[in-house]
Amino acid sequence: MNIILLGPPGAGKGTQARILVDGRDMIQLSTGDMLREAKDSGSEMGRIVADVMARGDLVTDEIVIGLIREKLAGDKRGGFIFDGFPRTLKQADALAQLLDETGETLDAVIEMQVDDAALVARITARSTCGNCGEVYNDETKPIPADGVCTSCGTSAEFKRRADDNADSLKQRLMEYYKKTSPLIGYYYAKGQLSSVDGLADIDDVRAEIAAILG
Ligand code: AMP
C-alpha cells in the first residue's frame, strides 16, 4: 500500500508516518528529512538547498523528484508513506508517472486538516529526539526530565529545526497555500482524497487513518 500524507507544516504528518512505519512495516519517505540529511552531510546538493530551506521556500521539483525516484527503486516492504511530497502539481504528476513505471498504485491521500494558529503554536514548541525522531512539544509532551527519550530509550540530544521559527514558518505556510493546497483538489478529482482532523489527539488521528486504510 502506498499513501500520501498531505498537510501544512506542523499538521502531524511525521508523527503519523512514524506510527504507520511501526504498525504496518511501511517506509516513510520524507523529502524534508532527506534534504536535511543532505544539508548535514555537506554535499553539493545540501549546500544548494540550505538557504532555500532556511527561508522556508520550496526547493526545486527536479531535486525532490530525483530523491523520490531513487527511493522507489529500493526496498518497498509494506509500501511507502509519502510525507511532505508531493508539494506541487508537477511533483504530483511525476509521482503518478514513477508509480506507473514501477507497477505500483497510490492507495490513499490523507489530508490532515489544521488551522494556522494551532500550527504556529505547535511548530515553535516542537523538538525531536536526535536518535529516533520522536516528536516532543514543550506544552503537550515535554522532553522527559531525565533526558531519556520515551520512544527509543536513549539519552540522545533533542533537536529543534532551524526553520521552526516564526519568519520561516510564515513563508512555509505561504508556500503551502500557494503551491501545495491545489493538490487537495487534484486528488479529490481523482477520488483518492480523505481528510482527517489533524488537531485531534494523536491516537484519535491514528484511528481515523487506520479506518481509512482498512
Ligand atoms: P518538511 O520537513 O517537510 O517541513 O520540509 C522542510 C523544507 O524542505 C521545506 O520547507 C522545503 O524547503 C523543503 N522541502 C521538503 N520537501 C519538499 C518538496 N516535496 N518540495 C520542495 N521542497 C521541499
**Among positive and negative, which fits the CA dihedral 146, 150, 152, 156?**
negative
**Cβ atoms within 10 Å, residue 44:** 8
Angle between helices 89-101 and 61-72 (to 10 degrees): 20
Residue owning the nearest CA to atom 19 of ligand 1: 85
Three cell numbers at 153?
Answer: 530509550
Three cell numbers at 121?
Answer: 503554536
Measured in Å, residue 95 CA sits from the centre of ligand 1 at: 16
What is the per-residue pLDDT for 166?
A: 87
CB of 9 within 6 A of ligand 1: the answer is: yes
Tell me: pLDDT of 37 over 90. Answer: yes
Single-letter residue type at 44: E
Strand order in the sheet with 158-159: 135-137, 126-129, 158-159
**Among positive and negative, which fits the CA dihedral 61, 4, 190, 73?**
positive
Three cell numbers at 202?
Answer: 494523536
What is the per-residue pLDDT for 27?
A: 97
Residue owning the nearest CA to atom 5 of ligand 1: 32
What is the per-residue pLDDT for 214?
A: 92
Q: What is the mean pLDDT of residues 84-89?
A: 98
CA–CA distance, 97 with 86 (Å, rounded to integer): 12
Measured in Å, residue 9 CA sits from the centre of ligand 1 at: 9
Tell me: pLDDT of 20 over 90. Answer: yes
Q: What is the mean pLDDT of residues 141-165?
A: 92
CB of 84 within 6 A of ligand 1: the answer is: yes
pTM over the 0.95 mark: no
Please confirm, yes or no, whether 36 is among the known catalytic residues: no
φ and ψ at residue 74, rounded to 5 degrees:
-95, -155
Strand order in the sheet with 193-197: 27-30, 80-83, 3-6, 108-113, 193-197
